[in-house]
Structure 1
Amino acid sequence: MHASISAAVTGHPRRRPEAEALAASQPGLDFEVVEDPEPDGPRSALRVARLAWRGADPGCTHRLLVQDDMRLAPGFARLVRAAVAAQPDSVLCLFTEWGSRTAPAVRLAALAGAGWVPLLDPYVPTTAVVLPTAVAHALAAFPAEPGEPDDVLLLRFARANGLTPLVSCPNLAEHEQGDSLVGNDVLMGPRRSALFGGPPGDWSRVLVPPMVPHLPLFEGVVVCQVPDGDGWRSVLADAFLAPSGLTVPDLLERYAETVARADPTGRLRRVVADSLLLQLWLAAFCYGIAAWAVLGDAGAVERALRSVRGAAALRTLAPGALRRFVPVHRLGALPGRVEPLLRQAISDGCLHAVRIGDQFWKESLQ
């Protein structure tokens, strides 16, 4: 189809220079700037989102919304038009932060060459999103629950209308550092992209992995997310792995062997507590299992991890999971320090999946 896009940068009047600079950076999309109509009122992204949804040009097929604290990938206009043409009926999210539930799925898509994964989070990241124009107009009138933010309202709307939002691989937008108007930078730490920029995946392909491992930001204990009807459910990683013959003592022994090789001097464990490093190792081990399930070959997994996309995706795993627990000034060096541990864990998980085979999935997912 021929996609035509009306575009807007949304923000607060106090960030008008940033919004105008972002709009000017994409002359091919003719961005307008939409500002909060009640800048002195209680902080809420929904007020400006309503205006931006309502302002979608009825003569265009789609509405693109980008918040004023985002940075867009090189070639953004061309890439977003190609993405919309390939998935014209979907809600398209062009960003997910590196610690989200969806982020590990994006990393798997990077290995597989897919352009999209389904959203796994309990909100739609509205920082950079494309909506069919009819959806934008319907959202403008969709009633909100008391205190409901725009990202949760959008997910509730999507579920009510049988829509599954898709998240791009790679992300086409990056979150810039700065003070959040609603305090998210303090609550959650830096929120960088799971995989920003680089060659696009196949925009026609949506990858739905049979399992997506995740180290939750607040709980700090790995879960395996598995498809469950129209959504996803989370299973503790040790419970997911148990049918494959791995007990908790087995996992502790495997971790101890790996960390002894990857961190013989204990330098890494002076930055990341052993208990959290265990969970990071477990997330990577499960990532290896999921990667094998997606690619079906251990050699293909190793090659994909060495690719530009695969390596870039792996670099965001540790800082995304640990940014609330590791000081910000140490996050930049963290990927390099944990890479030997993560690569060994992924390799071990992949080899475990090879040994168990398809029967593992049949038993684990019941």
Structure 2
Amino acid sequence: MHASISAAVTAHPRRRPEAVALAASQPGLDFEVVEDPEPDGPRSALRTARLAWRTADPGCTHRLLVQDDMRLAPGFARLVRAAVAAQPDRILCLFTEWGSRTSPAVRLAALAGAGWVPLLDPYVPTTAVVLPTAVAHALAEFPAEPGEPDDVLLLRFARAHGMTPLVSCPNLAEHEQGESLVGNDVLQGPRRAALFGAPPGDWARVLVPPVVPHLLLFDGVVVCQVPDGDGWRAVLADVFLAPSGLTLNDLLDRYAAAVVVCDPTGRMRRVVADSLLLQLWLAAFCYGVAAYAVTGDVAAVDRALRTVRGAAALRTIAPGALRRFVPGHRLAGLPALVAPLLRHAISDGCVHAGQAGDQFWKEYLQ
């Protein structure tokens, strides 16, 4: 289909210069700037979002909203039009932060060549999102619960209407560093994109992985997210791996062996506590299991990790998962520091998945 897009940058008035600059950076989309109608009110992005939803041009098929603290990928206008044309009826998220529940699925899509994954998070990333115009207008009138933010309201709307939002691979927007007006930078640390600026995947293809491993941002432990009805269920990683014949002691032994090979001088463990490095290794091991599941071949995973998309996906695993636990000045060097351990763990997980066959899926996916 031919997609016609009305675009808006949503902003607080004190960020108007940034919003105007962002709008001007994309002359092909004719962005307007929509400002918070009550800038002195309680902190909330919902007021501005509602106004932007309500003012979506009815003569256009879609409404694109980008918040004022985002940076857009080179060729953004062309990419977003192609993405919308391939998925015209969906809610399309062009960003997910590198530690979100959805971020490991985006990294799997990078290996598989897919352009989209389903949203796994309990909110819809509204930092850069495309909505069918009819959806935008309906959202403008959708009642909010007390104190409900725009991203949670959007997910509630989607569920009420049987819609599963999609997240792009690669992300087409990046979150710029700066003070969050709602305090997210203090609560969560830096929120960079899961995979930004890499070559696009197949916009017509949605990858639904059979398992999505995730190192929990606040808990520091790994879970495996498995499809469960219309949603996803989190299972502790060691519990998920048990049907394949691996015990907790087996995993500890594999980690110890990996550290001997990949961190013989202890450089990694001087930056990342041993208990957290174990969880990072376990997340990568499970990522290898999942990567084998979506490619079906150990060699294919190795090749995919060496592509631009695969390498970019690998770089955000550690800082995305550990940014609340590792000092901020260490995050930039973290990907290179732990890369040998991650590659070793992913390879180990791939090989194990190939040997275990369908044992993983018997309990959780059948």
Q: Same fold (TM over 0.5)?
A: yes
Is the contact between residue 243 and residue 364 of structure 1 (CA under 8 Å) also seen in structure 2? no
Quote how far apart the aligned CAs of 1:227 are: 0.5
Aligned to 2:288: 288
Aligned to 1:238: 238
Quote how far apart the aligned CAs of 1:364 are: 4.2
Distance between the aligned counterparts of 2:189 and 2:283, measured in 1?
20
- What CA RMSD, in Å, does the superposition of the two structures yield over aligned residues? 0.6
Aligned to 1:169: 169
Distance between the aligned counterparts of 2:269 and 2:188, measured in 1?
22
Aligned to 1:195: 195
Is the contact between residue 241 and residue 364 of structure 1 (CA under 8 Å) also seen in structure 2? no
The number of residue pairs the alignment matches comes to 366
Quote how far apart the aligned CAs of 1:343 are: 0.3
Asked whether 1:122 is paired with 2:133, we answer no
Distance between the aligned counterparts of 1:77 and 1:350, measured in 2?
37
- TM-score, normalisation: structure 1: 0.99
User: Counterpart amino acid of 2:191?
Assistant: R
SS at match of 1:357: helix
Structure 1, unaligned runs of 5 or more: none
User: Counterpart amino acid of 1:303?
Assistant: R
User: Counterpart amino acid of 2:144?
Assistant: A
Distance between the aligned counterparts of 2:10 and 2:61, measured in 1?
19
Quote how far apart the aligned CAs of 1:363 are: 3.4
Structure 2, unaligned runs of 5 or more: none
Is the contact between residue 213 and residue 224 of structure 1 (CA under 8 Å) also seen in structure 2? yes
SS at match of 2:144: coil
Distance between the aligned counterparts of 1:76 and 1:236, measured in 2?
38
Question: Which of structure 1's runs of 4+ aligned residues deviate more than 4 A?
Answer: none
Quote how far apart the aligned CAs of 1:359 are: 3.2
User: Counterpart amino acid of 1:78?
Assistant: R
User: Counterpart amino acid of 1:241?
Assistant: L
User: Counterpart amino acid of 2:250?
Assistant: D
Quote how far apart the aligned CAs of 1:365 are: 3.2
Is the contact between residue 240 and residue 360 of structure 2 (CA under 8 Å) also seen in structure 1? no
User: Counterpart amino acid of 1:307?
Assistant: T
User: Counterpart amino acid of 2:228?
Assistant: D
Distance between the aligned counterparts of 2:266 and 2:354, measured in 1?
31
Residue correspondence of structure 1 range 301-312 to structure 2 within 5 A = 301-312=301-312
Aligned to 2:251: 251
Quote how far apart the aligned CAs of 1:360 are: 2.6
SS at match of 1:335: helix
Is the contact between residue 107 and residue 310 of structure 1 (CA under 8 Å) also seen in structure 2? yes
Quote how far apart the aligned CAs of 1:99 are: 0.1
Asked whether 1:54 is paired with 2:46, we answer no
Residue correspondence of structure 1 range 23-62 to structure 2 within 5 A = 23-62=23-62
User: Counterpart amino acid of 2:296?
Assistant: G
Quote how far apart the aligned CAs of 1:88 are: 0.1
SS at match of 2:259: helix
